[in-house]
Amino acid sequence: MTNLRDYYRRNFLYSSHRLYLPQGKERALRTCSECVFFINIVGRTEKRKGCAAMIPKFAGAVKRIPEQVDVVEVLREIGQVGLQECLSCCGKDLSACGFFQPRRD
């Protein structure tokens, strides 16, 4: 056991223990569907879920975040590449990101 770093890396029981900071525990236990920033982005023919935290207008949560946003408005703010990132970064069952804020129902 001369190499302790290697011992802990290969020990699966030790690697399953995680240390969460008080602020990070809530983010780790929650999913994107419980977040304020998880909104509907409405296009002409389809409606998809996305993250409003990527949109600068809603990122600071200064303005009220609507339930749904038109895709044209999103394209004006962040462009086509930003829209793709906004739609692909989150999912209903994925764990929440660093922008997580719980919904106030």
In a domain, 91, yes or no: yes
Residue 51: CB partners within 8 Å, gap ≥ 6? 32, 35, 37, 38, 39, 86, 89, 90, 97, 99
How many distinct structural domains can be found in the chain? 1
In a domain, 15, yes or no: no
In a domain, 24, yes or no: yes
In a domain, 3, yes or no: no
In a domain, 1, yes or no: no
23, pLDDT greater than 70: no
Instruction: Provide the domain limits for residue 35.
Output: 20-105
- Supply the pLDDT for residue 21: 66
**Per-residue model confidence as pLDDT tens digits over 48-95:** 999 988 888 888 777 788 889 999 999 999 999 999 999 988 887 788
In a domain, 72, yes or no: yes
In a domain, 6, yes or no: no
In a domain, 7, yes or no: no
